[in-house]
């Protein structure tokens, strides 16, 4: 592959902000009196995710007014299976306390998939309730699948045909390069339980990732995992099953998701068909096997696959969306990254002339739709 030294032109945009004036009458507003009682504080989140090794779920309850020792009744409504959680019927305030923890203990089984439930925790209406707080919490609760433990293994060089390949970049010398030709380094981890399972750590949401400087909204998945898992247990059927990248697109590659902010899921064909229950043998016999090439450290994903969000929601989707370019992942065991996303090995840096300082890039100038 031919590599180039280049710099990226920057594009600046201005935003107009409109302000509305307040009338003099606004100064006459007088809030109503605050009632004494208990409430759920703003420290509580409406989205809670627990790993399988979690032992409890804690919520913060506050109170105003009377600070004598007291037990406040709590009502719980949920679609959780019985036996997973023990929800106390009260929260206890010691003398003088204005905040207390409501603690539900749990014993969570190891599962292969994430499970989502709803949970409503409310102060019993017979109790004094502060009218300036939340009398109840509606929580979207996710119980995570068994989480694999990974250790640092090295560095991977990623040529991204999934998302960066959507964009072309204008160079200062007048030439163009496609995003799939411009790689960046990411940390590479290895599973403790299975040494043939790897993980690309924050590969699309690290600050030096190319997609951070395109029309992709790389917002770290709003708290969702952004690591990409690669299962190379079978070297002839290396699988990247559909996984969320932590990124969102606003382009019309997802059918009726057009003009909406669509979450981006990626995979390879072997991983897609494995997620539909196909065996490795069936995947290979149908020509969708994927393997490491060259010296066993380079994985070429040709073509790269985008997954329709409808598939991830459990809807019927016949096949994934083929990206315009392939993706290439090169493993460098034992290497380290510095805080700038550069590989520490001077010799390795000299060997890979494609590496550039992505922080210089401010905005993609060219764009090509799938």
Report pLDDT digits (tens) over 100-142: 999 999 999 888 778 899 999 999 999 999 987 899 999 999 8
* pTM for this predicted structure: 0.59
Lookup result for tokens 């163009």: 176
Q: Residue 111 is part of a domain; what is its CATH number?
A: 2.60.40.2030
Please indicate, yes or no, if residue 25 is contained in any of the structural domains.
no
pLDDT band at 17 (very low <50, low <70, confident <90, very high): very low
pLDDT in tens, 285-296: 999 888 887 667
Q: Which residues contact 154 (CB under 8 A, 6 or more apart)?
A: 188, 331, 332, 333, 334, 335
Q: Which of 122, 143, 164 is the last residue of a domain?
A: 143
Q: How many domains does the chain have?
A: 2
Q: Which of 92, 122, 143 is the last residue of a domain?
A: 143
Residues 120, 123, 124, 128, Cα dihedral to 10°? -160
Q: Which residues contact 19 (CB under 8 A, 6 or more apart)?
A: none
pLDDT at 318: 63
Q: Which of 111, 143, 175 is the last residue of a domain?
A: 143
pLDDT at 254: 55
- Per-residue pLDDT, averaged over 52-75, amounts to 93
pLDDT at 178: 85
pLDDT band at 317 (very low <50, low <70, confident <90, very high): low
Between 263 and 26, residue with greater pLDDT: 263
pLDDT band at 32 (very low <50, low <70, confident <90, very high): low
Q: Are 75 and 191 members of one domain?
A: no
Find, among 156, 149, 150, the residue nearest to 335 by Cα. Answer: 156
CA gap 311, 305 in Å, rounded = 13
pLDDT in tens, 75-92: 999 999 999 999 999 999
pLDDT band at 345 (very low <50, low <70, confident <90, very high): low
Q: Are 77 and 173 members of one domain?
A: no
Q: Are 117 and 246 members of one domain?
A: no
Please indicate, yes or no, if residue 15 is contained in any of the structural domains.
no
Q: Are 123 and 175 members of one domain?
A: no
- Per-residue pLDDT, averaged over 232-253, amounts to 84
pLDDT in tens, 150-207: 999 999 999 999 988 888 877 777 778 888 888 899 999 999 989 999 999 988 888 7
Find, among 357, 354, 351, 298, the residue nearest to 329 by Cα. Answer: 298
∠ CA 44-50-51, rounded to 5°: 155
Q: In the predicted model, is pLDDT for residue 14 greater than 50?
A: no
Structural domain including 316 reads 150-360
Q: Are 132 and 278 members of one domain?
A: no
Find, among 129, 119, 126, the residue nearest to 61 by Cα. Answer: 129
pLDDT at 195: 93
pLDDT in tens, 220-231: 445 555 899 999
């Amino acid at each position: 592959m031919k590599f180039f030294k280049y710099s990226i032109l920057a594009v600046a945009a201005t935003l107009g902000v409109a302000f509305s004036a307040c009338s003099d009458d606004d100064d006459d507003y007088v809030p109503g009196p605050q009632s004494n009682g208990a409430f759920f504080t703003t420290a509580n989140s409406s989205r809670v995710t627990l790993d399988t090794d979690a032992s409890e779920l804690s919520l913060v309850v506050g109170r105003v007014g009377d600070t004598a020792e007291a037990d406040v009744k709590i009502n719980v409504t949920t679609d959780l299976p019985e036996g997973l959680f023990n929800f106390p019927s009260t929260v206890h305030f010691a003398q003088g306390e204005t905040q207390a923890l409501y603690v539900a203990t749990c014993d969570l089984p190891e599962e292969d998939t994430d499970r989502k439930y709803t949970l409503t925790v409310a102060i019993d209406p017979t109790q004094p309730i502060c009218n300036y707080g939340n009398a109840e919490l509606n929580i979207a609760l996710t119980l995570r699948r068994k989480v694999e433990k990974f250790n640092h293994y090295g560095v991977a060089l990623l040529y991204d045909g999934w998302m960066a390949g959507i964009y072309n970049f204008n160079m200062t010398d007048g030439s163009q390069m496609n995003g799939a030709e411009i790689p960046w380094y990411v940390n590479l981890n290895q599973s403790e339980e299975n040494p043939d399972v790897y993980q690309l750590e924050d590969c699309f949401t690290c600050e030096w990732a190319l997609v951070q400087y395109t029309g992709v909204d790389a917002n770290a998945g709003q708290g969702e995992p952004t690591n990409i898992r690669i299962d190379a247990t079978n070297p002839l059927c290396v699988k990247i099953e559909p996984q969320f990248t932590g990124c969102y697109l606003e382009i019309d590659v997802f059918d009726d998701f057009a003009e909406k902010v669509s979450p981006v899921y990626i995979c390879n064909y072997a991983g897609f068909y494995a997620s539909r229950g196909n065996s490795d043998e069936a995947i290979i016999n149908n020509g969708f096997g994927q393997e490491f090439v060259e010296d066993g450290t380079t994985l070429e994903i040709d073509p790269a696959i985008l997954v329709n969000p409808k598939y991830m929601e459990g809807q019927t989707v016949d096949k994934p969306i083929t990206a315009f370019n392939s993706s290439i992942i090169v493993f460098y065991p034992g290497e380290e990254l510095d805080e700038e996303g550069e590989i520490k090995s001077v010799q390795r840096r000299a060997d890979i002339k494609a590496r550039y300082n992505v922080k210089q890039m401010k905005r993609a100038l060219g764009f090509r739709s799938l």
